[in-house]
Structure 1
């Protein structure tokens, strides 16, 4: 049986500390994170070149953030892609702690 080439799925791969997006049965990208004391710190997002232009990055960000909020965890964006996504989606504002750019430790966020 062949995998549906249009099927897209986002899964939380806790063993690898990342949300993964699968498209047509192939790993298309991921959003890496670290979990600390009620917060998910998003550190890096990547979509494979061959999957670009399909909106998979936005789908991945949306699903990862929704799952983080559903768990009652705070979102801490260190990754530029997640940061840009959040700035375009104010519906997440009450769930975000913006990191202090002067801080060496992104687990110690400050205000926006």
Structure 2
């Protein structure tokens, strides 16, 4: 699944299109070493296809590669962080 990164100022978005529908995860950069994931949206047509999970994993990989932490305000991202203890190195509660 190809995931695009867009960042304008302190706001960013990860998105992917599958079968003509787009899922997204948005975030705000509160400092060079900290982002706040605030929203995840996956259209009903893509539910159960791993789109949300792929976006969450992409955010984790980006944080590891960039050397920053994630505050998971989004309920979906928070739930994923709790399910994946191996992500705790980049999660800030």
Instruction: Report the TM range for the smaller structure's normalisation.
Output: 0.7 to 0.9
- What 5-or-longer segments of structure 1 have no aligned partner? 1-7, 99-112
- What 5-or-longer segments of structure 2 have no aligned partner? none
User: Which of the pair has the greater relative contact order for Cα pairs under 8 Å at 6+ separation?
Assistant: 2
Q: Which residue of 2 aligns with 1:106?
A: none
Quick one: which of 10, 14, 17 aligns to 1:19? 14
Q: For the aligned residues, what is the CA RMSD?
A: 1.4
Q: What is the total number of aligned residue pairs between the two structures?
A: 90
* Higher helix proportion: 2
Divergent runs of 4+, >2 A: none
Q: Which residue of 1 aligns with 2:29?
A: 35
TM-score (norm 1): 0.73
* Higher strand proportion: 2
